Amino acid sequence: MAEEPTPTLTKKHVSAANIGSSKLTKVPLTASTLSFTLMARLGHLLAGASAIGAALLSVSGLGMVQLMENQALSAFFQLRGPIVPPQDIVILAIDDQSISIPEQYYKTDPKHYVYLEPLKSFPFKRAAYAQIIEKLIKAGARCVALDLVFDTPSSYGINDDRQLQAALQQYGSKVTLAALYENFQTHQGIFMQLSPPQEMFRVGSVSIGSVNFPLEIDGKVHQLASEFSDFLPQDDSLAVKMPSFDEAVLLAAQINYPRPKGDRIHFWGTAGTFETIPLWYVLDPENWNTYLEQGRVFQGKIVLIGSTDKLNNDYHPIAAGNSLERMSGVEIHANAIATLMQNKAIAQAFNTPPLRSLFVLILVGGAAIIITKTKRGIERFTFSLVLASIWGGISYVSFVYAQLIFPTVTPMIAIAVCGLSYLVTEVAREKIRIHQFINIFQKYKTSPVVQEIISQQQDLQDLLQQRDLALTGKILAGRYKIVKVLGAGGFSETYIAQDTLRPGNPSCVVKQLKPANTQSKALELARRLFESEAQTLEKLGTHPQIPQLLAYFEQDAEFYLVQEYIEGHPLSQELPLGKPILETKAIAIVRDLLQTLTFVHENGVIHRDITAVFR
């Protein structure tokens, strides 16, 4: 098969061709340089946008940003794992064991287990708490705190309340009771109200504190109970804010502690980290004398009494646990009290939004500058991941050992996005470069040099084939169906096509001429030259050794010549490089060519190039 048809050009067409070829060689180079420059700048622009965006997001207050940062803090707690809690805080748990065992024992033998009578049913008698307070204080407990709200009369009668009142009257200075802010709904709407202990229990210098903890956007307890007051409505009904339960406990224990540097709880671990003792052990003589060493276990300690049973379901998600883990309210208070005692409240590294925003901007911007020290996109992306991980590690160390919270997730994502921006823009630049190479190689793929390059690059071969396949089947002028891309030159491309409007769909050659400049004046000039070329080919096509012109047309600002298809093989096959031929054969070839050229010259045409085809 022929590699190319045999075109002959008029003098006018030579001028147009020269203009076209010069434009086509210059434009790709200029476009390439511009594209590479723009892509490089785009990478820097995206990196800068990432830094600015991260700085703005860090102070935006968006829920998603806060959620991600809180999840990072939870991950830090879990990565650290549980640590040994302070030994001077003990939890007396109203657990399932304390509810079920006393009831069973008492029913079995009421006389023998008469000391369990206050615990024979749940809720327990308040006389039970009175006895426990007395025993603990006499055993040397520093403070007894009840994470229970006694806001209504006892179901066991007034005498039951009076027993607790008497104990509070005597030991109240070392006792803390709980109050609770609750939401109530009426026909006028929902309102918040404080439910404090009954008036009769506010005796003997008893300290009272609210047990409410604010919840973060992730639904977990992160902050100290003292921060809950910030969420209270500013109205007259709640004009007097009550101290938190944890602050009240430390007041009753007469423990002086520094002002918290932060507002977040330092959790020592997940549920079960603090020592927990079943409540009923205190009233059971055997456990009191043996396991509790006659109360010496409580000496000098803060004792918290609260529910850990499944019935009350006083469990809440916390910062130190995953989304499925819960901690009892009384153990959350133990962590909060220990946080205040040991001055471990976790604080934001930057208290003001402008400082936090500026820090993130400098951090991400500095990381972007460091990333650019490497050249390749994949290296920059990898380096960005390394830098993001390093920052995550620094944030973790600061959180665990210095109790400081730095913006973590937002800068990490922004740093990674910087590296990704450079990677994506480099990939885009590479795609543009390959596309430009493909266009150049497609135009000159018949060149031995280009063919040598393509033969060594499988990806270029595949891309060229993809382009050829994309053109296959295209219909030109509603008639000529492209079958194969035959070849290309500096300003044209040649196809083998089928004439679908002729019987048998005979093959023909369609040559596409692409004007370099599609502006109206240049296009009009190209159109005149094209028509002149077609007229010349029509006249020259009467020679038996010159392809006959079958048609010419314009479509989408591109010009097409349809010529006779000549089967044969190219000159390079007839005259292989480096291989001599017989003199007689050379003379025959030249004579044949000269006879054709004579005919061309006699018709007033000067040729630009000749493609010989041997049949």
- pLDDT confidence of 4, banded at 50, 70, 90? very low
Backbone phi and psi for residue 547, each to the nearest 5 degrees, phi listed first: -60, 140
Detail the DSSP E strand segments found in 134-253: 143-146, 175-186, 189-195, 207-210
Cα-based angle 351, 356, 359 (whole degrees, multiple of 5): 135
Residue found under tokens 């200075």: 173
295 in the same domain as 152 = yes
503 in the same domain as 465 = yes
Q: Which of helix, strand or coil describes residue 596?
A: helix
Predicted model pTM: 0.70
Instruction: Please answer whether residues 405 and 346 qualify as being in contact, where contact means their C-beta atoms are separated by less than 8 angstroms.
Output: yes
Question: Is residue 79 included in any domain, yes or no?
Answer: no
- Give the tens place of pLDDT for each residue, 28-63: 445 555 565 676 688 888 888 999 999 999 888 888
Backbone phi and psi for residue 372, each to the nearest 5 degrees, phi listed first: -70, -5
Dihedral, CA of residue 593, residue 594, residue 599 and residue 603, to nearest 10:
110
Question: Is residue 77 included in any domain, yes or no?
Answer: no
Binding residues: 511
Question: Is residue 146 included in any domain, yes or no?
Answer: yes
493 in the same domain as 356 = no
Give the largest Cα separation in the chain, rounded.
Answer: 139
Beta-bridge mates of residue 487:
494
Domain count, the chain: 3
CATH of the domain at 602: 3.30.200.20
pLDDT value for 27: 41
pLDDT at 146 over 90: yes
Question: Is residue 149 included in any domain, yes or no?
Answer: yes
230 in the same domain as 179 = yes
371 in the same domain as 293 = no
Q: 293, 318, 341: which is the final residue of a domain?
A: 341
455 in the same domain as 400 = no
Q: 427, 449, 467: which is the final residue of a domain?
A: 427
Q: 273, 308, 341: which is the final residue of a domain?
A: 341
Q: Containing domain of residue 303, as a range? A: 87-341
Binding residues for ATP: 511
229 in the same domain as 135 = yes
Question: Is residue 545 included in any domain, yes or no?
Answer: yes
CA dihedral for 403, 277, 302, 329, sign (positive or negative): positive
Question: Is residue 1 included in any domain, yes or no?
Answer: no
594 in the same domain as 460 = yes
* Higher pLDDT pick, 446 / 8: 446
3-state secondary structure 151-177: CCCCCCCHHHHHHHHHHHHHHHHHEEE
Q: Which of helix, strand or coil describes residue 207?
A: strand
- Measure the CA–CA gap between 126 and 603, rounded to whole angstroms: 125
Determine which helix (DSSP H) or strand (DSSP E) holds 551, and give its type and residue range. Answer: strand 549-555
- Determine which of 20-34, 55-69, 99-113, 388-402 has the lowest per-residue pLDDT on average: 20-34
Instruction: Please answer whether residues 508 and 562 qualify as being in contact, where contact means their C-beta atoms are separated by less than 8 angstroms.
Output: yes
Per-residue exposure over 180-191, b if at least 16 CB sit within 10 Å of its own CB, e if not: bbeeeeeeeeee
pLDDT value for 114: 94
* Higher pLDDT pick, 12 / 475: 475
What percentage of the chain has pLDDT greater than the value 90? 56
310 in the same domain as 232 = yes
Q: Tell whether omega for the bond before 123 is within 30 degrees of 0, i.e. cis.
A: yes
Determine which helix (DSSP H) or strand (DSSP E) holds 307, and give its type and residue range. Answer: strand 302-307
How far from 28 is each of 432, 433, 441, 461, 522, CA to CA, in Å? 11, 10, 12, 20, 19
pLDDT at 3 over 50: no
144 in the same domain as 106 = yes
- Measure the CA–CA gap between 120 and 103, rounded to whole angstroms: 4
User: Span 10-33, mean pLDDT?
Assistant: 38
- pLDDT confidence of 26, banded at 50, 70, 90? very low
334 in the same domain as 370 = no
Residue found under tokens 């392809």: 547
pLDDT at 233 over 90: no
Helices (H), 327-408: 329-341, 353-371, 377-402
Question: Is residue 78 included in any domain, yes or no?
Answer: no
Which value, in Å, is the radius of gyration of the alpha carbons in the chain?
Answer: 45
Instruction: Please answer whether residues 275 and 91 qualify as being in contact, where contact means their C-beta atoms are separated by less than 8 angstroms.
Output: yes
- Measure the CA–CA gap between 188 and 523, rounded to whole angstroms: 79
- Determine which of 15-24, 28-37, 515-524 has the lowest per-residue pLDDT on average: 15-24
Per-residue exposure over 4-42, b if at least 16 CB sit within 10 Å of its own CB, e if not: bbbbbbbeebbebbebbbebbeeebeeebeebeeebeeb
Question: Is residue 433 included in any domain, yes or no?
Answer: no
pLDDT value for 445: 56
Determine which helix (DSSP H) or strand (DSSP E) holds 26, and give its type and residue range. Answer: helix 11-58
- Give the tens place of pLDDT for each residue, 437-468: 777 766 665 555 665 666 566 666 665 666 67
559 in the same domain as 422 = no
Other beta carbons less than 10 A from residue 450's beta carbon: 18
